[in-house]
Structure 1
Amino acid sequence: MKVLGICIFLIMIWLILDFSLGRKQHLSRVSKRETPFLHSNFEIFTNGKELIHDYFNSLRQAKKQIHVLFYIVKNDAISKEFLTILKEKALEGIEVRLLLDRLGCLKVKQAVVKELRQAGVQVAFSAPVKLPFLFYSAQVRNHRKISVIDENIGYLGGFNIGKEYIDAGPPKLRPWRDYHVKISGEGVNELQKEFLLDWQHATSEDVFLSWPGPVGMAVNWEAAAELTFPLGCRMGASRHQFIATEANQLEKQFIELIRMAEKEIIIGTPYFIPSREILDELLAALKRGVRLLVVVPYYADHPLVQEASYRFFRRLLREGAVVYQYKNGFYHAKTFVVDDKVCDVGTANFDKRSLYLNKEINCYIYDSVFITRLKAVLEKDIQDSERLSLETLEKPNLLRTVKEATAYCLSYFL
């Protein structure tokens, strides 16, 4: 028993040192990446079947180039269809690059990767688990979902590739509700650039031949920002920008958005686990008269994530916030709306993983017409939700209390 206790103690010390030193190294290497203001057209999808139908059609119609990054691709029927399309396009002579998160796509077998490469698909894996910080590197995932087709169509949002995203998963997660945008216009140039930056980081391939310095050097973000591609994309109607984040960058971005608010903040997220600084900013916004509305799932897809949110909801509800739990399936959307000034549709959840660990990319749209469209979507989701009351959260419940305590200790990793 004594030996077991010593082993557990040593493992805990290793985990703490691994995580803290890995994080220190990560913070020392990141730099902020945000695009200039752009103008594009946006189509929003909230249903996985509709998105996949449109997306697969765009892939099949590709004439020149397909660049794809996903956090999750599985080994089910819809994933096999997706990978088959990529193989077929590569066999036609089209350039196909497929970038997959190393852990999120564990179900993509090596035999499948071999088949893809034999067909001509360039396959790479992002965010591998590696020494010397095994535990920390396992936590930092590339959570981005980017597709660029023929250099003039882009896709970005919360959907991955798997049967649950097209309403074929567990019954309690059906239908799957998410937000994903299809982009045309000059923003596609910058989305392409973000993909290629991630590709270069994963492969050390010098995809930007005009950059100074040998392959493998640290990315010259200033030089990258000056690069343009001859894509022939015309300007669209909506002013926007992309901001790619990792480490602690997203927290600062969300704080800036909260401080902008004068009338209303709407947050849609599957996981509500904010940092202390963000919680303080939300409370300050409520005290200055800003209306705060949060939409989260009624049914959880992971253990403890729901209980992790309750301690924050109690404080916000006491100050007048309104929280809705979506009941018509599973709510996986990621959005942040401030007044009629700006809305965010992207890949980042409102949790500590996205705030402090994951690689994310969000699209901030400064267009009242699009914001009105998004608010109509949110209003529909609110109609399919149940309002969470403070009384419900304050009723004595021993099991929930134990879960909340456990979730608090593990909140960084949920």
Structure 2
Amino acid sequence: MSFFFRFLVLLVVWAGVDFCLGRRNQLKRAEVRKFPMRHSDFRLYTCGQTLYDDLFADIQHARHHIHILFFIVNNDRVSHKFLELLMEKARQGIEVRLLLDRIGSHHLSKDSIRQLRENGVHFSFCHTIRLPFLFYSANQRNHRKITIIDGKIGYIGGFNIGEEYLGHDPQLGNWRDYHLRLTGEGVQDLQVQFLHDWRDETKEDLIKESKYYPALAKGSALHRFVPTDGAYLQQAFLDLIEEAEHDLYIGTPYFIPGRKLQRALLRAAERGIRITILVPKKADHPLVREAKLPYCRPLLRAGCSIYQFEDGFFHAKIIMVDGRICDIGTANFDLRSLYINHEINCFIYDKSFIEVVKKEVDQDLENSQLLTLEEISNLPFSKRCKEWLATAVAFFL
């Protein structure tokens, strides 16, 4: 046995043991956290430019504090504009805290970080690679995207900060995503979640500081936030599927539901639920397109409708149940969001706002093409090999 082969075997064994022990350690610390029902007013964004215009304007008008968590801030023109704005506010004496995922925001330069700190921005990476579980910690990401301004305005959704989210990536084209702006009672829960994540990384405990929780008016839309730390998200999705009485819609860039959710979807189809799934036709990561195929075939045979978005790249994370419940957040319908990533979703129970969302969903479906069973059956050997590989590593896609 060659040295390289022995080394490869040892590496695979080490990674497996590291991941299992890291996962076990995470589950020991994970806890179910459900915020109470709140009433807030929402605005939905599906265009990156419109979102950035309003987000940057709200940041510009901040008077007390700005708390921001993103999975990705890139090292490009719009990212620099975003960081310059934060530094400008910090120089004005506004408290600014910026928390970024270490792997997701790896393009951010050391020089940019130095400038942020020199200009008064409280900056930290979260979920850095650390001992003793190196492989597991390298995969566990904080995928939440949260902004709180003065404790009165909140943002949550699928957009990050970068040129591609403006549709400037020539390979992906138009970027279709869903993001929420809210005012009202729910902002306090986003504040708690941000400060919880901030404390975990910096040891600075501000969760009970009253100055970050101003009095908030009651909004019109009933909702609650559901944060998950690599655990309990699957049960939340199972509950949504079980609640469906006639219609279930799932929009996700990565459709790798795993066995339990797949079985729940098939049971829903058996009881007559009309299931519609929207995924992108283009892929922004290797193998994600192939990883969904083993799940698509049984669903298509069961009568589910699966659409592929063709007008650019579809990155929205949304579930709608009977026009009664709408989930918009940061979690994809995939194994990584279910079992590894830290996510936060917003379950909305307001029919009038869900009607607004439904119009966007209908537009998405108009810009999509139905996937047929024939298209993904009898694939050539090379594509079947890619599918086998994608299935083997699906947990880490």
TM-score (ref. length: structure 2): 0.98
Are 2:179 and 1:196 equivalent residues in the alignment? no
Are 2:214 and 1:231 equivalent residues in the alignment? yes
Note the alpha carbon deviations across 1:370-406, whole angstroms, 9 max, x for none: 1111111000000000100011111332222111100
Equivalent residue runs for 1:14-413 within 5 Å = 14-169=14-169, 171-208=170-207, 230-413=213-396
Note the alpha carbon deviations across 1:3-40, whole angstroms, 9 max, x for none: 22111111111011000000000000010111000000
d(CA) in 2 for partners of 1:314, 1:228: 53
d(CA) in 2 for partners of 1:230, 1:59: 17
d(CA) in 2 for partners of 1:165, 1:229: 30
CA offset at residue 64 of structure 1? 1.1
d(CA) in 1 for partners of 2:379, 2:85: 53
CA offset at residue 206 of structure 1? 1.7
> 1:168/1:200 Cα in 2 relative to 1: closer, same or farther (>3 Å)?
same
d(CA) in 2 for partners of 1:209, 1:242: 19
d(CA) in 1 for partners of 2:256, 2:58: 36
Letter in structure 2 aligned against 1:24: R
The structure 1 segments of at least 4 consecutive aligned residues displaced by more than 3 Å after TM superposition are 227-230
Asked whether the 8 Å contact 2:44–2:181 carries over to 1, the reply is yes
> 1:209/1:367 Cα in 2 relative to 1: closer, same or farther (>3 Å)?
closer
Letter in structure 2 aligned against 1:35: F
d(CA) in 2 for partners of 1:76, 1:196: 27
Note the alpha carbon deviations across 1:202-234, whole angstroms, 9 max, x for none: 111121357xxxxxxxxxxxxxxxx99641211
Alignment correspondent of 1:216: none
CA offset at residue 286 of structure 1? 0.3
d(CA) in 2 for partners of 1:206, 1:402: 50
The DSSP-based 3-state class of the residue aligned with 1:172 is: coil
d(CA) in 2 for partners of 1:173, 1:107: 19
d(CA) in 1 for partners of 2:236, 2:212: 27
The DSSP-based 3-state class of the residue aligned with 1:9 is: helix
d(CA) in 2 for partners of 1:368, 1:26: 37
Deviates more, 1:277-286 or 1:247-256: 247-256
d(CA) in 2 for partners of 1:203, 1:278: 36
Asked whether the 8 Å contact 1:189–1:228 carries over to 2, the reply is no
The DSSP-based 3-state class of the residue aligned with 1:34 is: coil
Asked whether the 8 Å contact 2:150–2:212 carries over to 1, the reply is no
Note the alpha carbon deviations across 1:56-77, whole angstroms, 9 max, x for none: 1111111111000000001100
d(CA) in 1 for partners of 2:194, 2:130: 22
The DSSP-based 3-state class of the residue aligned with 2:46 is: strand
> 1:230/1:12 Cα in 2 relative to 1: closer, same or farther (>3 Å)?
closer
Asked whether the 8 Å contact 1:307–1:403 carries over to 2, the reply is yes
Asked whether the 8 Å contact 1:148–1:154 carries over to 2, the reply is yes
Letter in structure 1 aligned against 2:141: R
Deviates more, 1:359-368 or 1:392-401: 392-401
d(CA) in 2 for partners of 1:263, 1:209: 43
TM-score (ref. length: structure 1): 0.94
Alignment correspondent of 1:220: none
The DSSP-based 3-state class of the residue aligned with 2:144 is: coil
Letter in structure 1 aligned against 2:183: S
Letter in structure 1 aligned against 2:81: E
Equivalent residues, number: 397
Note the alpha carbon deviations across 1:75-118, whole angstroms, 9 max, x for none: 10000000000000000000000001011111112221111111
d(CA) in 2 for partners of 1:400, 1:320: 25
The DSSP-based 3-state class of the residue aligned with 1:154 is: strand
The DSSP-based 3-state class of the residue aligned with 1:333 is: coil
The DSSP-based 3-state class of the residue aligned with 2:43 is: strand
Asked whether the 8 Å contact 1:172–1:330 carries over to 2, the reply is no
Asked whether the 8 Å contact 1:40–1:183 carries over to 2, the reply is yes
The DSSP-based 3-state class of the residue aligned with 1:360 is: strand
Alignment correspondent of 1:7: 7
Note the alpha carbon deviations across 1:176-197, whole angstroms, 9 max, x for none: 0000000011101111111111
> 1:296/1:200 Cα in 2 relative to 1: closer, same or farther (>3 Å)?
same
Letter in structure 2 aligned against 1:13: V
